[in-house]
Amino acid sequence: MGTVRTNRGIVVGVFARTAGAVLGIVVAIATGTPTTAHAQGYCAPGVPASCEAGTTCEPISATAGLCCPVDPARGTVPICIGPDGPAQATVLSSELIGLLTLAQDPRLAADLFTGPWTNWYYEPRERGLAKLAVMRGILERFNLVDTYVGGEAGIPLVTDPARPSVTCAAGPYARRNLDGTCNDPTNPLMGAAGTRFGRNVALAAAYPDEAAMLTPNPRTISLALLRRRGIAGSGFKPVPFLNNIAGAWTQFQIHDWFDHGPVQRRSHDTIEVPLSPLDPLRWRQRTLSIPRTRPDPTRVAGRDDGLPPTYTNEVTHWWDASQVYGSDEATANRLRAFTGGRMKMDARGMLPVGERGYADTGMRENFWLGLELLHNLFVREHNAIADMLARNYPDWDDQRLYDTARLINAALIAKIHTLEWTPAILPNSNLDIGMHANWYGLNHYTCPPLPPLPGLYPNPVVYGVVGNPDGRNLHGAAFSMTEEFVSVYRMHPLLPEQFLVRSARNHRLRDVVATEDTRDARGRALLQRHGMLDLLYSFGISNPGALVLDNYPQFLQDLDVPGRGTIDMGTIDIVRDRERGLPRYNDARELLRLPRVPDFLTLTGGDERMARRLEHVYGDIDQVDLMVGTLAEGQRPSCYGFGETLFQVFTVMATRRLQGDRFYTELYNAGTYTNEGLLWVEMNSMKSVLLRHFPELADTGLSDVANAFYPWD
C-alpha cells in the first residue's frame, strides 16, 4: 500500500486506481485539518444495506468502500444561512471530478447570465459552484492588471527610485518584514508599503475624465441619492442578519489593506465641488474643497509615461495585520513591550493612549470606537499567542516570539475574514462552500478526500490555497491591492447614526451615543467609561446599515474635521472614484466581464420611484457612478448584503490575497508557524477570541450563534 501525505497532514492510504476513475483511499486523520465529511465505516459496493441510513457506499476499490454522508442539499439551489450556521455539506470523491469537468465545459461559460444579471444562485448547488469557479477563472486571467511596465517575459519587477537595491538576507527563520518587502525574494518590493495599487480593469480604461469630474455634481448625488432619510437619520435601514462588530471589522480590515496616504494640501491641488444655493452648507462656503490624492512618487519619466495616473499604498498590500503592528519598524517598536514577544498594554489591559488621545496602534487614521474595540482585542490575542509560544519554546528570544505570534495572529484574522465575516455579509450556502474551498479546497467537503493526484494537484479548487506548498499563483501580475478593490470597500452605509450602550450582564440601557461622538479621543473616553465587555455586547446585539441608497450616514455628510472644515464623505467617495480613473458603473460592469444594465428600471429591480430619482439626477444610465450603481442594484444574489458588481471584484481578490502570499502558501507550515501556531489558527474563530478575553460573554446571546458576526439575540 502506497502512502502519501497531503498538504495539511491527512495521511492517505492508496488502495487502487481504476481507469478514468478517482483513486480509492482510506483516510486516517493525523495532525492536520479533518474534512467536514467524515466517513462512517467500511462497506461493500453494490451490497444493499451495507451502510446505515443517511450514508452511501463510496467505492475505494473493486471490493471495498466507505460509508459517506448523503448530503440532502445535493442538487438543490442555495439557501440563506441562519444563526445556527450552514448545514454540513458533502461532496463524494467520485463526483468531484465530474464537478471539475463541469467547470471546464464551454457551454457553462455561455450560460452565466440571465439578461444582464448572473444566475448561479438559481442553479442546483453543483452547477452554481461550477459557474462561480468559471467566473473566477475568467477574472484571474483578464482582470489582474499590472501598473508596472515590462513583464512581457514574466511578472514586472516592482521598483521605487528611492529604494534602488532592496536585498533579502536569509535569516535563521522565516518572518514577515514589517514594511512588506521580501515576501518574494525574487521581486523584493512587491506588495511593500509605498508601492503602487494595481487595477482590475484594462489600463486604457483607467484614465480619469477631468472634463466630467463634476458631472453630475457629486454633492447633488450625495444629498439626493445617498443621504439617510429622516431627522437625524431616523430612516436608518438595518441589515437584520449582521451585527455592528461586522461593520467595525470592515474598516479594521481596510486599514490592513490600503491607505492612499496624506492628501495634497496645496490650494491648487484641490477639486472644488460647487454647492447649490439651497445646499445646507452654502451659508458658510461656496464649494466643497477636496484635496487631490497624493500622486505616485515612484514614477520614472519616460518609462512610465504610457501609464494612466498611478497611486501608492502607504501600508503593505499583504494580509499581515499591519493595522495592528504597523508598516514600518519605528511604529512596530513603539508598540512592543520587548519582553516575551508581547505588545504594550496598560495596567487595565488596554492599548496605551497615543497622540490625539486614542489608542496607539499600527494604523490610526479615521479612528473611532469600533476600531478601539478590535485593535484592543487583537493585541490581547497577540499577547495570548506569544505566551503560548513562550511556554512551548522557552529557548526562543523576544524577537522570534514576537515575529511568530504576529504571523499566527495575522493568519487567524485572515481566516476569520474568509470563513466568518464574508459568509456573514453574504449568507448564501454556496458562497459559504466557496469561501471554505478558498481556504481548504473542496477536499474539505469530500468523502473520502483526494490525495495529491498527478494532473490535479496542486489545483487550489480541490486542495485549497492555504498550506498548499505548490498553490501560489500570481496569474501573471505582480501582487497588489487594486483601485477597484479600494472602491468596492466604500461601505460607509454600514455605520448607524447612534449606538445604544447596554450592560452585558442584565441588558440595562447605560447610554445613547451618537456615532459622530465615537471618533478619536471621544471613542477612547467611551471605552474607559463603559469598558470593553459592555461595548462589545452592545455592538454584538445591534445591526449595521444596509448597503443601499438612502442610507449614507448623515453625520458623515456634515463632518467637521480639524484643519479641513466641513466635509461630505459621500461627495468625497464619488470624487475619489472619478479622480482615480474608476469607470462609471456600466463601463465597470463590462470591463469586469458582466453585461451592461440597459436602463434605470432594470438597475433598481423594478423600483419605479428609485429609477425615476436616478434618471432625474443622471439622465443617462451610462453616467451612473460605480458606487451609486452598486448601491442601487435591486437584483442581488440570494441572501447577499450587496450586489453582484461588487462581488465580481470580491471574487477575484478574495483568492488573490491568499494565493499571492508565500506566508499563506508555501510557508504556511509548521516550520514557519509551529505546529502549535497552525493549531491555534485552525481551532479558533472570532467567537473563541471574544470568549477567551471576555468569558462573561458566554452568558449572552453570543453562545447561541454559530458566527460571532450574526446578531447575538
State how far the Cα of 419 lies from the Cα of 293, in Å rounded to an integer.
Answer: 34
Residue 321, amino acid: A
Residue whose grid cell is 453625520: 555
State how far the Cα of 305 lies from the Cα of 47, in Å rounded to an integer.
Answer: 71
Please report, for the chain, how many H helices and E strands are present, in that order.
Answer: 23, 16
Are 364 and 354 spatial neighbours (Cβ–Cβ below 8 Å)?
yes
State how far the Cα of 617 lies from the Cα of 640, in Å rounded to an integer.
Answer: 27
Q: Of 440, 445, 489, 664, which one is the catalytic site residue?
A: 489
Residue 287, amino acid: T
State how far the Cα of 463 lies from the Cα of 440, in Å rounded to an integer.
Answer: 6
> Residue 535: helix, strand or coil by DSSP?
helix
Are 118 and 464 spatial neighbours (Cβ–Cβ below 8 Å)?
no
State how far the Cα of 316 lies from the Cα of 481, in Å rounded to an integer.
Answer: 9
**Angle, to 10 degrees, between the axis of helix 398-416 and the axis of helix 369-392?**
130
Q: List 460's β-bridge partners, or say none.
A: none
> Residue 15: helix, strand or coil by DSSP?
strand
Rg, Å, the chain Cα set: 26
| 673 noted as active-site residue | no
Residue 297 C-alpha cell reads as 512618487
Taking residue 595's Cβ as centre, other Cβ atoms within 10 Å add up to: 15
Are 535 and 545 spatial neighbours (Cβ–Cβ below 8 Å)?
no
Q: What is the 3-state secondary structure (H, E, C) of 65-108?
A: EEEEECCCCCCCCCCECCCCCCCCCCEEHHHHHHHHHHHCCHHH
State how far the Cα of 291 lies from the Cα of 294, in Å rounded to an integer.
Answer: 9
Angle (CA) 476 659 102, round 5° = 85
Query: Which sign, positive or negative, has the C-alpha torsion 208, 210, 216, 222?
Result: positive
Residue 284 C-alpha cell reads as 458658510
Taking alpha carbons only, the member of 74, 11, 73, 69 closest to residue 38 is 69
Catalytic residues: 489
